[in-house]
Amino acid sequence: MTHDWLAFAKALRSIAQTGQTYTDNKYELERYHQLEALTNQMFAVLGDVPIEKIENLIIPDQGYATPKVDVRGAVFDDSGRVLLVREMKDGLWTLPGGWADINEGPSANVLKEIFEESGHRASQPRLVMLKDRSLHPYAYYSPDHIYKLFYVCTHEGGEFVPNNETDAAAFFDLDDLPPLSEGRTLPVDIHECWAFASSGAPGIYSD
């Protein structure tokens, strides 16, 4: 019998966070803090990394625990090539995107991420799919429960602009993709986005 210990640890962390938000009892609060510390230790063991790295990785959060939202934009040129950016953190390629910012709708977020990371302008974001990251074979584990939103966008032109997250941007043939940062983007993500883009479907309203 196999057990998804990462899912167990995420559930315990969610209980600890929500409990800290709603309890007025100082003894219960102390227990929830202890539970939070214990889940950090579990993440460190599961990821085979020092506890300090886990504590620095997890951004303190408050309130009812909910999934984080990652937005990714698929932009294709007239030849059907896909726009990818190269991440400085691992030197691998991905669809441009990142965490959704508050006070902005997801479609506005993805257009901003495309421009900031690639220097290319895009328009008409159409929601293609929403994936629960934990249900797909992304490369590295995350202590967060993450929803990934994928958009197909229309290319409006541009060129790479140096920034603090990516060091290159280029268009690639779908049958000749570069090494991907598979914690962010899987080959199937790109091919599913292209299947949608080439179908002429209108997409889903997402704001």
| Pairwise CA distance, residues 88 & 165, whole Å | 6
| Pairwise CA distance, residues 21 & 80, whole Å | 48
152: tokens are 């197909």
Rounded to an integer, the average pLDDT of 67-94 is 96
Least confident of 29-33, 46-50, 66-70, 107-111: 46-50
| pLDDT recorded at residue 110 | 97
Q: What is the pLDDT of residues 150-205, one digit of tens each?
A: 999 999 999 998 898 999 999 999 999 999 999 999 999 999 999 999 998 877 76
Least confident of 53-67, 70-84, 122-136, 175-189: 53-67
Is pTM beyond 0.85? Reply is no
